[in-house]
Amino acid sequence: MTGRELELIDGQVYEAALLASMVWDNAIIPQVAGRIDRDHFYRPEMQVLYDAILAVSRLGLAVDLVTLRRQLAHTRQLDEIGGVEFLVEVVESVPAASSWESYLAHVCDCYGHRRLHGFLRQAGEVIAGTSELAEKYAVLRNSLDSLCRDEHTEVALAADLVQSVSFERAANYLPTGFETMDRHILGLGRGTVTVVAGRTSMGKTALGLNVASNLCRKGHPVLYLACEMSGEQLLRRVLCSEAGVPLKPVLAGALWHNPHWEEKLKAARLQVGAWPLLILVRPHLTPASMRAEVLRMRAEYGIKAVFVDYVQQMRDDKQHSSPVEALTERMQSIQALATETDIPHVVMSQLNRACEAREDREPRLSDLRGSGGIEERADVVLLLHRPAYYTGDEDPTTKIFVAKHREAATGFFEMDFWGTILQFADKPEQEGVADGD
């Protein structure tokens, strides 16, 4: 490393000048503390002294040589930083306390250069690693995005925001396209995570695709992340659902014997082909690669909703001690991404077999695989139950339990699911949701 490079990342002179300015002019301490933290200082002794200045200030005492010496002696760090001699040397190093903003800017610049050097080192390690190329891109894209983001978020005072807060449903929720569902869960909330869970063949993927299709039909760009099915499999489902044509007979060759179905599918191809539906097949989707794709698609296409099918099929960026821990971290990442982007995320999830051991086979929150992480992080949890699946009759009624909702009542509502065409539909003249709390 050249002398110039070392100067850019070290910045010891500016760090000492800034700390001395805080001692000479205690009034600037809150302003400095609101803009940087201890990590902005390169040398450990400077970090310790910065912590001591803040600790004395929080006690309501004047910050000077006497109180700092007492504080450092109390924490047994005085000798660690070089004793009273170092303390005096730093405090007397400032040319002019009035130039503290200039010193602060230099400290921030040096911190930024250190982060940049760290990124370059990480890039070399990632490139030399054994992971797949797509995963390398995702890790580096996330690191670079984090590097470029503002290090500190401005604090918004309630007084500044209160007039702009909206209670209009249209401003806060995207309609799902199903009146029954929107009446009971309000829609897909901005920056929220909605979990759609069910046992195999309950229709969770179909419901996810139906809602995604409804959004696209209204002109909202949607990103559908598939961890299990191929893009062709998903599009076949979408096309048959849109055309109202049964999937299985079509796959078995019945299309050639039914010109009416063929015409309906032809019309559906034209309609779906014009939708802003983005399907990404990612069998090895990790939280890091998901974040990279969502940010990229938001920048390029302005996506308004994200669907993940499904969370148990995702992979992890690192090893975990248990499946529950891994699932919890995935949900934490999805929740953070939804909040960061202000985009609703709909996550499909499996249920375990516990519900099938009950007489009524109705699902509960505890049936979620690794339910601790999912239940805690989700804003809305919908559990799907089709009684006819177990009885063998043709009743399309599907009971959808609102097992959790941060802004509405829990309970259940009913919809019809026509499995042959993979289409959910509102039931006519439903009464209100059966309140749970």
Give residue 162's pLDDT: 61
Place of tokens 């909703």: 305
Q: Which helix (H) or strand (E) element contains residue 57?
A: helix 44-58
| Pairing assessment for the beta strands 380-385 and 305-309 based on DSSP bridges | unpaired
Give residue 10's pLDDT: 55
More confidently predicted of 175 and 124: 175
| Pairing assessment for the beta strands 397-405 and 411-418 based on DSSP bridges | antiparallel
**Residue 150 pLDDT > 90, yes or no?**
no
Average pLDDT over the chain, rounded to an integer? 84
Give residue 135's pLDDT: 78
pTM of the model: 0.66
Give residue 235's pLDDT: 94
**Tokens in use for 21?**
């300015």
**Residue 22 pLDDT > 80, yes or no?**
yes
pLDDT digits (tens, 9 = 90+) for 151-164: 444 455 555 556 65
Neighbours of 169 (CB within 10 A): 12
**Residue 229 pLDDT > 60, yes or no?**
yes
pLDDT, mean of residues 428-437: 54
**Residue 412 pLDDT > 60, yes or no?**
yes
Neighbours of 416 (CB within 10 A): 15
Among 86-90, 165-169, 194-198, where is mean pLDDT lowest?
A: 165-169
Q: By the 8 A CB rule, do 381 and 342 touch?
A: no
- Categorize the per-residue pLDDT at 205 as very low, low, confident or very high, splitting at 50, 70 and 90: very high
The number of helices, as runs of H, and strands, as runs of E, in the chain is 20, 11
As beta bridge partners, residue 401 has: 383, 412
Task: Please give the domain boundaries of the chain with CATH numbers for all domains.
Answer: 1-165 (1.10.860.10), 169-426 (3.40.50.300)
More confidently predicted of 99 and 223: 223
- Categorize the per-residue pLDDT at 149 as very low, low, confident or very high, splitting at 50, 70 and 90: low
| Pairing assessment for the beta strands 193-198 and 380-385 based on DSSP bridges | parallel
Cα–Cα distance, 416 to 424 (Å, whole number): 6
pLDDT digits (tens, 9 = 90+) for 279-329: 999 888 888 888 888 988 998 899 999 999 988 889 887 777 777 887 888
- Categorize the per-residue pLDDT at 430 as very low, low, confident or very high, splitting at 50, 70 and 90: low
pLDDT digits (tens, 9 = 90+) for 372-391: 578 888 999 999 999 988 88
List all residues 6 or more positions away from 81 whose beta carbon is below 8 Å from its beta carbon: 45, 48, 49, 72, 87
Whether cis (ω within 30° of 0) applies to the bond prior to 50 is no
List all residues 6 or more positions away from 341 whose beta carbon is below 8 Å from its beta carbon: 191, 294, 295, 298
pLDDT, mean of residues 269-282: 94
